[in-house]
Amino acid sequence: MIISPRHTQKIAFSLLSLCTVLVIAPVFVIIALIVIRGGPGISWEFLTAMPRMGMKAGGIFPAIVGTLYLVSVTMLFAIPFGVLAAVYLVEYARDHALKRFVEVAIVNLAGVPSIVFGLFGLGLFVVFLKMGTSILAGALTLAIMTLPVIITSTKEALSTVPRSFREVSLSLGATGWQTIRHAVLPNALPGILTGIVLGLSRAAGETAPVLFTVAAFYLPRLPHSFFDQVMVLPYHLYVLSTQVPNVKPEVQYGTALVLVGMVLILNLFAVIIRARFRRRKQW
């Protein structure tokens, strides 16, 4: 039997749309479920109060603060190292075996399961460097995990800046660093920011790396220093779902909603930065 091209076209089109729908449907189902079941649990008190009654009631304030605090410290380490490493790799390093090895290592680092980062952080920061279970240890662990994201996207952003910008700048007598600083980085900034935001949202949502390095099971107060433990949202959610009996679903789903909301807002930022840049970029 011969199918006419018009029919194959139709079949291909339907198959492709079906796949797309199948891929994105779960996302919508998950989000809808969380919103419907968690929505009623969200209240001012839920967002700003300490947990009470063995976390079955009250709010999740310390977990929200803990997550924000942890992510901020993470970025303090991850942004400078990630961005500068990428600048070095793209702008300075000559193409030789070592450079290629480093690049492969970075790609592989991105594929390492997060629990491995958690155990690595436990071994290195918590135990060996004696930081204990602390914001510092957790942030360093998360920083290492987000580095590949930041490095990769920064590298990509740098390599989309046209070569001619560098040539012109150098031909005007600017030094290598002046060229990077004034002709390259400003034009790569949106891409770099996008990478940072994506790295940030990944760091905010991970449980395994914080499990042994920073997360407190139940700590109804705010942190005082880098060396404190904190509650963090993903781990808190895990605890509420598996460790504490008889937690009301609004509390569980409410926590999930706050976490998902935070991550989605961050990703939305990335999308907006990207879209704005695309409109402005003209070369």
Partner 1 sequence: MSKIHVQDLNLYYSSFHALKDVSMNIEACRITSMIGPSGCGKSTLLRVFNRMNDLIDGVRIEGEVLIDGKNIFGRDILLSELRKRIGMVFQRPNPFPISIFENVAYGPRVHGLAKSKDLEGLVERCLSAVELWEVLKDKLHHSALSLSGEQQQRLCIARLLAIEPDVLLMDEPCSALDPIATAKIEELCFQLKERYTIVIVTHNMQQAARISDDVGFMLLGELVEFGQTDKIFTNPVDQRTNDYISGRFG
Site of tokens 């994201």: 149
# of chain residues touching partner 1 (CB under 8 A) = 23
Contact segment (CB under 8 A) with partner 1 among 113-121, 148-156, 171-179, 194-202 equals 171-179
DSSP state string for 91-148: II--SSHHHHHHHHHHHHHHTS-HHHHHHHHIIIIIIIT---SSHHHHHHHHHHHHHH
The sign one gets for the Cα dihedral 40, 41, 47, 52 is: positive
Using an 8 Å Cβ cutoff, are 79 and 196 in contact? Answer: yes
Q: Measured from the CB atom, is 248 or 281 closer to partner 1? A: 281
Residue span binding partner 1 (CB under 8 A) among the ranges 52-60, 122-130, 158-166, 222-230? 158-166
> Which of 47, 107, 167, 221: binder of partner 1 (CB under 8 A)?
167
Q: Considering only residues 9, 108, 178, 243, which one is a binding residue for partner 1 as defined by CB under 8 A?
A: 178
Report yes or no: 41 and 254 within 8 Å, Cβ to Cβ. yes
The residue within the footprint of partner 1, chosen from 165, 226, 238, 277 (CB under 8 A), is 165
179 secondary structure, DSSP code: I
Length of the chain: 283
Can you tell me which of 110, 164, 218, 265 binds partner 1, judged by CB under 8 A?
164
Among 65, 109, 174, 219, binds partner 1 (CB under 8 A): 174
Is 282 a residue that touches partner 1 (CB under 8 A)? yes
Binding stretches for partner 1 (CB under 8 A): 94-95, 162, 164-165, 167-175, 178, 182-183, 186-187, 280-283
